[in-house]
Structure 1
Amino acid sequence: MTFDTRGLLLLTTALCAATAASAQDSEPTFLGTLRIEGAAAQSLLGNTEITEQDIEHRNPATVADVFAGESSVTVSGGAAMAQKVMVNGIEESLLSVTIDGARQNKGAFHHTGNVLLDPALLKSVEVSEGLAPADAGPGALAGALAYTTKDARDLLDPGDPFGGTLTFSGGGNGTGLRSNLALFGQQGGLEWLLSGTRQRGDDYRDGDGDTVDGTGAELDDYIVKLAYTTASGKRLAFSASQTEDTGPRASQGGYIRADFGGLTSAARPTEIIGGYARRSSYTLTYTDEAPMGWFAPTAQLTYNEQEVDVGAVSGVNYSLSGTIKNEFQLANGTLTAGLDMFDEGAKATEGTSGSESHRNLGLFVQARQDLTDRVSVSYGARYDYQWFDGVNDADFEDGGFSLNGAVDVVLTDALTLNAGLASTFGGYALGEAALINVRGTDWTYDGFGTSHSNAARIGLRYETGPWAVSGALFQTEITNINAVLPSGGDRGAQADMVSRGFDGSVAYTGTRGFVRLNYTHANVELDDDTISGTSYYLGRPVGSIAALEAGYDIRDNWRIGGTAEIALENDATDPDLPSYEVLDLYTTYHPAALAGLELRLDVKNVFDARYASRSSDGLDSTGSVIPLYEPGRTALVTATMRF
């Protein structure tokens, strides 16, 4: 199949021009916030937003802390470089992951995570489970994860020219000391923000009091943000960030396996060696925040790298991506249309050699409309064309369409039906950078091709007074997934995976507090069998998980709360995955005499349970793998001064 890039650009121009002309001819007026974009509707469709308030309550020091209280999103444990995010048991490398709208490439080694992230300035996270809109970007086979960080204007009152936050936290069980300093200002349309985080700690102990080697925190994170907004609302923003994990990590046979507690083989004992993981990102964004008429553009260009050095091998993944889009106002909603691209690569840098490159050009359109007072819809399409260059002169190109649609129907004053479908072209996938042609085994590409997914979700929500109850059935099926971690160098080997199950939630929100119970059952299969705990770049057998979150304001300046996670026994694996229960509690206090000061006490794993997160690697490989157990009871004190 051949493809003319100029033809796609002309088609994009024609589409935007035609839509603009239609918008001008009909003189539409936007009627207000769309119900299909409302939090309740999106939550039932699997599009959960973790808000700024949620993040503040959870006081995250790791990505795992960000998703505490969420049953559908699980995170493996250990040091920062080891943590992987799973959505309904599907690994994040099969989702579209963005930070402030900027596309992120996946990690470079299977015993480390994909997107190294420090949550110090995190504002919100949007999670799309299986049903990603066309404007979420390419490759959203199992949905999307969209992280948003704070700008200076999020931290300052209008007219306030300068401010800052200083945070210190420390505690026992290897926590060590974590500190963050952020300074920010605004003046005459100009904004700036500087932030630095440093954490140093020792190896922690699990619930049995055993030290888990190679888990000590050694994290550094730096962020610079600049922006200028004109009087007419034209905004140009630049951000640069770098996150590093440089701690000593557990290795066997010369390879760091930060996701394992160790191996049972006496021939490969655990040794502690220096590890390295880095994510660097640079993003330039233009938006019109006060558009006149039909022209409301957004343009973004970003470059990021994910690098790891894991002893015997190292590698780097890079991504250059860009998006140009416009949101058109219709009489009953909006239509977003645009063009996006990426140029990505995976390169081995030590211990072996070789590289792969992957390019994509996409055209998309997404409409969101209130058809009546009771029926709202979201629907869209995109077309992507990709080029792939492998090692040993292996070249491929192909393209495909993606379609999605969702409906929100008000049945009664309290009961609403939601349903959605998505068919997504995933395309090619880069291999693991650190292991390209490893041990002299040349990678081959016989049968190499493009992946595709089909996803469906249907559910009901009931809301009356302070109560909200919802439940939804879901299924995400991904076919022809290329071997990112090839056995014997066979990159053309393909696999099919499906995650199906149920999401449910019961919540009570009062004037001074809330309590929310989430439950997810995800049955994850790979080639018609229950997926294993070492199916890297694919998923994990998470089974059934319940998550509880609550908070209550005893006084205006004194709050108590906590989260709990209960994982039920999963007998679909061999051996069975054991159940566990873990409870975290906290209290915050704002002294009336010291404006801007917040004191917080966290007690994590209150009952000192010995457990490994259900999404951790190798839990069903007890004959060869020692699971990476989570920290036992840990007390943590945090002081934050805002000035």
Structure 2
Amino acid sequence: MNRTSRGLLLLGACWAGSAAFGQDTNQTYLGTLRIEGAEAQDLLGNTEVSAEDLENRNPSSVKDVFQGEASVTVGGGAAIAQKVFVNGIEESLLSVTIDGARQNKGAFHHTGNVLIDPELLKRVEVTKGLAPADGGPGGLAGSIAYETKDARDLLEPGKSFGGIASIGTSTNGTDLRSALTLFGQQGGLDYLLSGTREIGGEYEDGDGTTMTGTEPDLSSYTAKLGFTTPSGKRLTFSASETEDEGRRAAQLGGNGLYFIRPDFAGLTSGDSVLVDGYARRSSFTFSYADEAPEGWFAPKLQLSYNEQEVDVVGAWGLNTSLSGSASNEWQIGTGTLTAGLDFFDETAKGRGRGTAPYDSRGKESMTNVGLFAQARQDLTDRVSVSYGLRYDMQEFDAADGQEFDGSGLSANASVDVVLTERLTLNAGIASTWGGYELGEAALVNFGGDWTYDGFTTSRSTASRLGLRYETGPWSVSGAVFYTGIDDLNAVLPTGADRGALADVTSRGVEGSIGWQGSDGFARLNYTYADVELDGDTVGTTSYYYGRPVGHIIALEGGLDVTPAWRLGGSAEIALKNTDTPTDLPGYEVLNLHATYAPERLNGVEIRFDIRNVLDETYASRSSDGLNYSRVVALNEAGRTFGVSARWRF
């Protein structure tokens, strides 16, 4: 029996056991847990990008999703290049899910990890450091959970069918972005079909310089089916595929091969050529949940499969992930207890397209089975807690045929204490076992056979301490944080040494000031993150680790000036970073928008955007290769005027 079969059997056994246990009691818990409240979660580092935030930001890329979030930064360029950093730590060191389905990381260090079209995003939850036990395995630096909409989120009351059509263009990059979503419900059956297409040309930076290889060429398709029984049992199936097929800048690498590097504007050592690049993410998910549980029995079951593929000309790579989870949420006297089992079976394989030893073909694989329990309780009307444990067992098959196995315990605890009517204290700690890491799929054995001397498992420790003050429409909060990850294996090994180890830390402070009124809002977020690799400030070419973020200030606001008109904007300010060997320059970027929903055209909304209003010439603080002598950094787009229209029918 292979490891995947064992995982599936354990998954079913755990779910069946929880069902049997849950039928023995009728105790229920009524009320809202304060520890799960938005204010408490935000101070503990669990930030939500809500549906309202997404509407204000009108994202066409993952970079747009996190506008206004100082602690989450994204490098620019085409969709294939964009990587997410949380407090300066790269997303491959976080647990990333889409609708609960685990996502494997990207296959090449010059491309992003998870290719996402934000057209259907409902919300995004980001956990910074303090990963809960039921958040899944591998959350060394936290988690990013993307949730997408289904038909029930979009259907208007009393209707059984509807749709949303949108079209947009801009003066700098995107010639046309169009999307069509159809959805409906008949009895207990609901469905959704959606497609997005974005095409255009290379954008120019603030100096008018064309950024080679940045043209958008994105296609995305999603299908969702759901069935809900009269008693509240719900089955869902979803399938999605997102592709980026644009022409990208490539430069010479080993063995005379060309490699696309969409995260760079170029190399100083030679000219770039335009070649056809390719990136794809395909995902399939089946889930079951009881939305009207009785007593203690509230089971959830999920099984998912996804692929991340890249073709960078000189090499090709594919990451696959089969994952599942079975859990139950029990109502206990003062809160809830979520417990269950999850597993994943993942591979990284690739091939080089040169002559020996650059004609490599190799594969690594890894299987993990985890048991978890997470409790969330209000101990008193002033003290709320969350605490959990998980135990993971892992097997790793190396490219040279060696087998490794390991196991580890993870624990977390946090508390929310009401000090006064307006002042609240939060504190949290976590120790997370990370296990092994798959190497870079496209370069397995590339240039020489990988070796595994010293290959071992990783572990992180994280802590946060913060205060929040609320009075009327105003809120002020601040926190100090620390995340340290030890014994990370080299996923992009120098000299083929996969057993080389590295330690990454991110420490700093966060602060925010917010105002929420009946017709508008305003927020200011500040983050300082000092990111180190092996005791020194992390270099901007240390892929899969982090970026020297330094000081970031983000502002965002919106105001309904009339029932038909809404004005808004966002800004990002990066202060000069003097922690690095060579200072990183600061920059200030302002974006403004206006939306108009004419009363006589029901369901129609027109939006006008001006991005980078000041026409700043800059490279994002999270971009690759900043101030590296061999690299021409990829600047962000200069001033861009955009217009889009959306019709809901």
TM bracket (short chain): over 0.9
- Which string of whole-angstrom CA distances, capped at 9 and with x for unpartnered residues, describes residues 569-616 of structure 1? 001112111000000000000011100000000000000000011000
**Aligned AA for 2:262?**
A
Contact 1:58 1:68 in 2 (8 A): yes
- Which string of whole-angstrom CA distances, capped at 9 and with x for unpartnered residues, describes residues 282-304 of structure 1? 00010100011111100000000
Between 325-334 and 299-308, the greater mean CA deviation after superposition:
325-334
2-side partners of 1:300 and 1:15: how far apart?
Answer: 16
1-side partners of 2:122 and 2:308: how far apart?
Answer: 22
- The equivalent residue for 1:392 is 400
TM-score scaled by structure 2?
A: 0.96
**Aligned AA for 1:342?**
F
- The equivalent residue for 2:487 is 480
Tell me if 1:359 matches 2:367.
yes
- The equivalent residue for 1:505 is 512
2-side partners of 1:17 and 1:605: how far apart?
Answer: 54
Contact 2:11 2:342 in 1 (8 A): no
How far residue 20 of structure 1 moved from its aligned partner, in angstroms, is 4.2
Unmatched segments (≥5 aa) in structure 1: none
Cα distance change of structure 1 residues 11 and 415 upon mapping to structure 2, 3 Å threshold: farther
- The equivalent residue for 1:291 is 293
Q: Percent identity?
A: 64
- The equivalent residue for 1:378 is 386
How far residue 234 of structure 1 moved from its aligned partner, in angstroms, is 0.5
How far residue 533 of structure 1 moved from its aligned partner, in angstroms, is 0.4
How far residue 18 of structure 1 moved from its aligned partner, in angstroms, is 9.9
1-side partners of 2:267 and 2:168: how far apart?
Answer: 33
Contact 1:573 1:620 in 2 (8 A): no
- The equivalent residue for 1:628 is 634
Tell me if 1:261 matches 2:268.
no
- The equivalent residue for 1:239 is 238
Aligned residues: 634
1-side partners of 2:41 and 2:13: how far apart?
Answer: 31
Q: Does the residue aligned with 2:115 lie in a helix, a strand or coil?
A: coil
**Residue 331 (structure 1) aligned to one of 333, 336, 339:** 333
- The equivalent residue for 2:437 is 429
How far residue 159 of structure 1 moved from its aligned partner, in angstroms, is 3.4
2-side partners of 1:532 and 1:398: how far apart?
Answer: 30
Contact 2:19 2:299 in 1 (8 A): no
Contact 2:325 2:342 in 1 (8 A): yes
- Which string of whole-angstrom CA distances, capped at 9 and with x for unpartnered residues, describes residues 445-495 of structure 1? 000010000000010000000100000000000000010101111100010
- Which string of whole-angstrom CA distances, capped at 9 and with x for unpartnered residues, describes residues 335-375 of structure 1? 00000000000010452311000000000000001110000
Q: Does the residue aligned with 1:391 lie in a helix, a strand or coil?
A: coil
**Aligned AA for 1:372?**
T
Contact 1:152 1:192 in 2 (8 A): yes
Tell me if 1:151 matches 2:156.
no
2-side partners of 1:383 and 1:138: how far apart?
Answer: 9
- The equivalent residue for 2:347 is 345
Tell me if 1:138 matches 2:144.
no
Cα distance change of structure 1 residues 9 and 557 upon mapping to structure 2, 3 Å threshold: closer
- The equivalent residue for 2:81 is 82
Tell me if 1:420 matches 2:424.
no
- The equivalent residue for 2:255 is none
Q: Does the residue aligned with 2:498 lie in a helix, a strand or coil?
A: coil
**Residue 586 (structure 2) aligned to one of 563, 579, 584:** 579
How far residue 16 of structure 1 moved from its aligned partner, in angstroms, is 4.5
Q: How does 1:96-495 map to 2 (within 5 A)?
A: 96-253=95-252, 254-265=258-269, 268-351=270-353, 352-439=360-447, 441-495=448-502
2-side partners of 1:175 and 1:15: how far apart?
Answer: 52
1-side partners of 2:236 and 2:588: how far apart?
Answer: 44
Contact 1:261 1:629 in 2 (8 A): yes
How far residue 330 of structure 1 moved from its aligned partner, in angstroms, is 1.2
Cα distance change of structure 1 residues 164 and 17 upon mapping to structure 2, 3 Å threshold: closer
**Aligned AA for 1:420?**
G
How far residue 624 of structure 1 moved from its aligned partner, in angstroms, is 1.0
- The equivalent residue for 2:27 is 28
1-side partners of 2:647 and 2:22: how far apart?
Answer: 49
Q: Does the residue aligned with 1:170 lie in a helix, a strand or coil?
A: strand
Cα distance change of structure 1 residues 501 and 11 upon mapping to structure 2, 3 Å threshold: farther
How far residue 226 of structure 1 moved from its aligned partner, in angstroms, is 0.5
Contact 1:186 1:192 in 2 (8 A): yes
2-side partners of 1:51 and 1:96: how far apart?
Answer: 19
- The equivalent residue for 1:642 is 648
2-side partners of 1:289 and 1:453: how far apart?
Answer: 35
- The equivalent residue for 1:69 is 68
How far residue 28 of structure 1 moved from its aligned partner, in angstroms, is 3.1
**Aligned AA for 1:631?**
A
- Which string of whole-angstrom CA distances, capped at 9 and with x for unpartnered residues, describes residues 363-389 of structure 1? 000000111000000000000000000
- The equivalent residue for 1:516 is 523
2-side partners of 1:320 and 1:14: how far apart?
Answer: 21
2-side partners of 1:479 and 1:8: how far apart?
Answer: 30
2-side partners of 1:435 and 1:280: how far apart?
Answer: 21
Q: Does the residue aligned with 1:81 lie in a helix, a strand or coil?
A: helix
Contact 2:28 2:295 in 1 (8 A): no
2-side partners of 1:18 and 1:289: how far apart?
Answer: 18
**Aligned AA for 1:119?**
P
- The equivalent residue for 2:43 is 44
2-side partners of 1:367 and 1:19: how far apart?
Answer: 17
**Aligned AA for 1:316?**
L
How far residue 61 of structure 1 moved from its aligned partner, in angstroms, is 0.3
1-side partners of 2:156 and 2:117: how far apart?
Answer: 25
How far residue 19 of structure 1 moved from its aligned partner, in angstroms, is 6.8
2-side partners of 1:555 and 1:412: how far apart?
Answer: 38
Q: Does the residue aligned with 1:120 lie in a helix, a strand or coil?
A: helix
How far residue 8 of structure 1 moved from its aligned partner, in angstroms, is 7.7
TM-score scaled by structure 1?
A: 0.97
2-side partners of 1:12 and 1:219: how far apart?
Answer: 40
Q: How does 1:468-617 map to 2 (within 5 A)?
A: 468-617=475-624
Q: Does the residue aligned with 1:498 lie in a helix, a strand or coil?
A: strand
Contact 1:8 1:363 in 2 (8 A): no
2-side partners of 1:55 and 1:18: how far apart?
Answer: 41
Unmatched segments (≥5 aa) in structure 2: 253-257, 354-359
**Aligned AA for 2:38?**
A
2-side partners of 1:551 and 1:342: how far apart?
Answer: 42
How far residue 29 of structure 1 moved from its aligned partner, in angstroms, is 2.9
Q: Does the residue aligned with 1:159 lie in a helix, a strand or coil?
A: coil
How far residue 332 of structure 1 moved from its aligned partner, in angstroms, is 1.0
- Which string of whole-angstrom CA distances, capped at 9 and with x for unpartnered residues, describes residues 481-514 of structure 1? 0101011111000100100000100001111111
2-side partners of 1:238 and 1:13: how far apart?
Answer: 19
Q: Does the residue aligned with 2:415 lie in a helix, a strand or coil?
A: strand
**Aligned AA for 1:74?**
T
- Which string of whole-angstrom CA distances, capped at 9 and with x for unpartnered residues, describes residues 169-208 of structure 1? 0011122100000000001010110000000010000000
Contact 1:141 1:453 in 2 (8 A): yes
- Which string of whole-angstrom CA distances, capped at 9 and with x for unpartnered residues, describes residues 264-318 of structure 1? 11xx311110000000000001010001111110000000000000011011000
Q: Give me the CA root mean square deviation.
A: 1.7
2-side partners of 1:228 and 1:13: how far apart?
Answer: 20
**Aligned AA for 1:479?**
D
